[in-house]
Amino acid sequence: MKTPNVLQPLTRLMNDTTAPEVKHGRIDVHHHLFPPAYVEENRRRGITKEAGVQIPTWVPEDSLGVMDANGIQTAILSLSAPGVYMGSRQDAITLARECNDYGAALVQQHPGRFGYFAVLPMPFTAEACAEAIRALEVLGADGIVLLGSTDGVFLGDPRFEELMAELNRRKAVVFVHPNVHPTSRDLWLATPDFLLEFVCDTTRAAVNLVLQGVMERHPGIKWILAHAGGFLPYIAWRASLANALPQFRDTAPQGVLTYLRRFYFDTALSPSSITMAALQQFVAPEHILFGSDYPYAPAPLTALQVKTLEEGDIWSEAQQHGIQRQHALSLFPRFAQADEDFNSAPEFSKEGLLAKAARLATDPLAEMVEHLRNR
C-alpha cells in the first residue's frame, strides 16, 4: 500500500500562495497581537526571538488583510509567549494593563472583526485576579489567555486556586497557549522549541489541570487548548490510567477522560487529516475550533492551513462549517448574526452526591485490590 504524502516540503509550504476557497464568516480563536507597549518592552530587553522563531512585525492592518483573504470574519486576539512577565513583577502588572487597554481599543475600532483574550500578570495570583476582573467586567474582554506554564509553574498549581475561582464565577473562556518551560532549555536538542517543547507545555498543563482537581472544582471555566491540544489526544487513554491511582480519586472523581473531553481544541498548525482523525475519535466535533496562529504562521501558511482543513476527508460539510464558525459562537455568541442559529456551550458540573456516594462505597474494595497488588 502506498503511503500518503502528508508532509509537504517546507519550501513548497511557504511559497504556496494559492488562495483557498473563501467562505465568509470564519472565526479564528488563535490569532496574535503585538501591542506597542509589548513591542517596546521586547526591544528594551533585546528580545528578538521566541521559542526559536523571529518575533514578527505586526500592525492591525496586516491581520485584517490576511483575514479578508481567507474568509475570516473575526479574529480573537491574544498575546503569545512569553506573556508579560519577563523578570519584573511590577513591569508585568503595568504591561498587562497596557496590553489589555490596547486590545479593548482595537475591538472598539473594528467592531465585529476583532475580539481579544486579556493577558494577566502571571504567576502573581492576587494581581492576576485583579486584572482578570478589570478586563472581563470593565474592558469587556472575550476571555483570558493563560500560558501553560509561567516562570516554571504550570496551570493547575494550587497557588492559582484563587484565580481559578474568580474565572469560574464568571464562567470565563480561557485560551491556553504554550510557553517554553525552563526544563525544555536544558535538553540540548537541535529541535526549535516551537516544534516540540511548545506542545509538551500544553499537554503537561492540561493533564495537571485535571489531576490537580481544577476541572472538577471549577466546571464553569471553558478551556481552549492551542495547537489541537499538543499531544493530549494521542495519549488521552494513557493519561486515564490515573483513574487507578488512589491519590486522584477525589481530584478527578468523574474519570480523567471525562475532564479531558471538556477541553476545546483549536486547529492552529494542526489541520492535517492525521491530527483531525485523532480529535474526531477523542472529542465531540463541537469542541473543535478554527485557529491560524497568525502572524507566527505567516500569510502563506495561514492560507495553506485553511486549504488543508477544507480539503481533508475527516469532517462532513456541516462539521466543517461548525469548526470554521458555529462552534466558536457557542463560546462567543456576541459575534453571531441576527438570524444565525447556534448551540450554547454545554454546562459542566461537579460530581453529584449520588455518584460520590457510589464511588465512596467502592473505595474500600479498590484499596484492598491495590494493597494485594503491592504485596
pLDDT tens digits along 362-371: 565 456 445 5
pLDDT tens digits along 125-182: 999 999 999 999 999 999 999 999 999 999 999 999 999 999 999 999 999 999 999 9
Q: H or E stretch including 146?
A: strand 143-147
Q: What is the pLDDT of residue 366?
A: 57
Is 319 a domain residue? Answer: yes
Q: Which of 173, 174, 291, 287 is nearest to 227 (CA)?
A: 291
Is 103 a domain residue? Answer: yes
Is 249 a domain residue? Answer: yes
Give me the number of domains the chain comprises. 1
pTM score, whole prediction = 0.90
> Which CATH number belongs to the domain containing residue 126 in this structure?
3.20.20.140
Measure Cα distances from 303 to 60, 131, 298 in Å.
Answer: 18, 35, 9
Residue 280 C-alpha cell reads as 474526531
Is 7 a domain residue? Answer: no
Is 6 a domain residue? Answer: no
Q: Are 257 and 236 in contact (CB under 8 A)?
A: yes
Q: What is the pLDDT of residue 7?
A: 39
Is 12 a domain residue? Answer: no
Is 19 a domain residue? Answer: no
- Specify which residues 153 forms β-bridges with: 150
Residue 250 C-alpha cell reads as 477525589
Q: What is the mean pLDDT of residues 67-75?
A: 97
Parent domain of 83: 25-349
Is 359 a domain residue? Answer: no
Residue 266 C-alpha cell reads as 483549536
